[in-house]
Structure 1
Amino acid sequence: MLSQINHRNVLRILGGCFETATPMPVFEFVCNESLYHLIHEKDLSSRISWDNRPRIATEVADALAYLHTGTSKPIVHQDIKSAKNLLDEHCTANVIGFEQSILIPLGKSTVGSVDPYYHSTGQVTEKCDVCSYGVLLLEILTGRKTFEWSETGEGAGFVLVDFAISSMKGNRLHLIFEPCKLKERNREQLMACAELAMKCIIKWKPDERPTMTEAAQELRQIKDIL
């Protein structure tokens, strides 16, 4: 199924190597870093302008919408995060990492980015990807990691989703952005993106979350705000 995927924002699989104990897929080459490194490495973060981030988020949404509805059988990625997205020389998103597309073992996933409904019920649907995408969208918008250990070594550390939810409940969702990034000219656009991210995350019942197609369409409308 993976070899039949044909989408500009999904890294193309060329074949496989079966000469090792564990078969290894062979993908096309992308010369840039992962989205995670380009967002969080201080020396690299300037390479992704804040004007480009909504575009990158839209490209990832398009890729997931394709996986959910554009293939012969729906593919649930189940491990959507910034480390599983490569950017090429044009800063175009390429979704990778289908190792967990069948089942995520409990306790093996990234802190703060996995659907809590899945953990409670074990039911895997396309809306699991929607929840994880909402977390990724927050990460793209804020430039903050989904989870950071406490600098003092005490407590559980910083969880981006928890901070965003508490900020939204207090009608202070703008606090998730650094003041230097939430400028007057992009405030409306970034806040609309943040509100979309929260739609993907906070709805407990998967049916209440948007589909990835709907999320991609909304992002395009948001991009037209400016």
Structure 2
Amino acid sequence: MLEDGRIVAVKKSKIVDGGDQEVRQFINEIVIFSQIIHRNVVKLLSCCLETEISLLVYEFIANGTLSKYIHKQNEEFSLTWEMTLRVAIEVAGALAYLHSQAACPIYHRDIKSSNILLDDKYRAKVADFGTSRSVSIDQTHLTTLVHGTFGYLDPEYLQSSQFTDKSDVYSFGVVLAELLTGEKTDVRVMKDGGKEEIMKVANLAKRCLNLNGRKRPTMKEVVAELEGIQLSVNTSNHAHQNLANVAYVQPQEITEAWDVVSTSTGPCTDGGSSSCDAQPLLTVKTV
């Protein structure tokens, strides 16, 4: 906690003195963050590299990692299908921003569910930019030693050591598959999501995981598809709600309406000189 009462998160180096590689990652993270302004990227507030243990100070993200909501039992709270789609869109939007809207294109290089945080409103925040790299606009790839988390690594990158924007797309595809098939998530997806929507997201994840990077969509295209699915979900929910509102009429109101017709009497003219009691036009038997 800071003096003004704000809660922050502090990341400190694991190695005391001589941890050059880790210090370089901290410095790289600072440089990367200086180029980023996006609501779905965690904010770096301050740093200290001149002490025995290097420190980075971030905004505190209250609800922890996306991973724990996918893979660990949480009886108090679980993501709904609607929230899952929103989180996927927010992460995809942050990556699309890094790839094509930041001052220079940025490759995250370590997208995974444990590097995606959820704030107090369960909005996604992409974190951990220690291995990220910015590239010039005319560059199509980055040749580096293979680094990342196995299971999320692009197979092409593993073979060639060439990291591209489509390598981040592959990692995102793994996260999307986790959101659909995680132990805790799977039950909720089948309960809340429509079959057509689930299949669309599953097919998108499959395309992101194509072994041929050129056949994977860009993150911009991923965002557009997910937003289209989200729109169809919202439209469908709105339509169902309207149908429910129209269909819900109190049985008592129906009975009363028919009673007015079935028991009323009115004038029966005979040359305008007399009137007589009218018989009900319709007899209604209420059940």
Shorter-chain TM-score: what band?
Answer: 0.7 to 0.9
Change (3 A) 1:202 1:10: same
**Residue 207 of structure 2: which of 199, 215, 220 is its match?**
199
Q: Contact between 2:144 and 2:161, CA under 8 Å: does it hold in 1?
A: no
| 1:185, distance to aligned residue in structure 2 (A) | 5.5
Distance 1:118 1:144 in 2: 29
SS, match of residue 51 in structure 1: helix
What SS does the corresponding residue of 1:224 show, helix, strand or coil?
A: helix
Give the aligned partner of residue 131 of structure 1: 170
RCO higher in structure (CA 8 A, sep ≥6): 1
1:69 deviation in Å? 0.8
Q: Share of identical aligned residues, percent?
A: 40
2:270 maps to what in 1? none
Indicate if the aligned counterparts of 1:65 and 1:213 stay in contact, CA closer than 8 A. Answer: yes
- Structure 1, gaps ≥5 residues long: 146-176
Amino acid at match of 2:228: Q
Q: Contact conserved, 2:108 with 2:129, CA < 8 A, in 1?
A: yes
Distance change in 2, residues 1:40/1:11 (3 Å): same
Deviation digits for residues 28-79 of structure 1 (CA, Å, limit 9, x no counterpart): 1211111011222202583312221011000000000001111111110010
- The residue type paired with residue 210 of structure 2 is I
Compute the displacement of 1:186 (Å): 1.3
Q: 1:180 to 1:50 in 2, by over 3 A?
A: closer
1:142 aligned partner: 181
CA distance in 2, matches of 1:195, 1:130: 14
Is 1:81 aligned to 2:120, yes or no?
no
Match of 1:212 among 212, 219, 234: 219
Residue type at the aligned position of 1:91: Y
1:109 equivalent among 133, 137, 148: 148
TM-score, structure 1 as length reference: 0.77
**What TM-score do the two structures reach when normalised by structure 2?**
0.62
Contact 1:3 1:12 in 2 (8 A): no
Distance 1:185 1:26, change over 3 A: closer
Q: Which runs of 5+ in 2 are unaligned?
A: 1-31, 134-142, 234-287
User: Structure 2 counterpart of 1:189, which letter?
Assistant: E
Q: Retained in 1: the 8 A contact 2:35–2:103?
A: no
In 1, distance between residues paired with 2:200 and 2:67?
23
Hey, what does 2:44 align to over in structure 1? 13
Q: What SS does the aligned partner of 1:16 have?
A: strand
What code does the residue aligned with 1:41 have?
K
Q: What root-mean-square deviation, in Å, do the aligned CA atoms of Structure 1 and Structure 2 show?
A: 2.3
Kept in 2: contact 1:37–1:44 (CA 8 A): no
Counterpart CA distance in 2 for 1:218 and 1:184 is 19
Q: Secondary structure at the match of 2:117?
A: strand
Aligned to 1:93: 124
Aligned partners of 1:45, 1:26: CA distance in 2, in Å?
Answer: 29
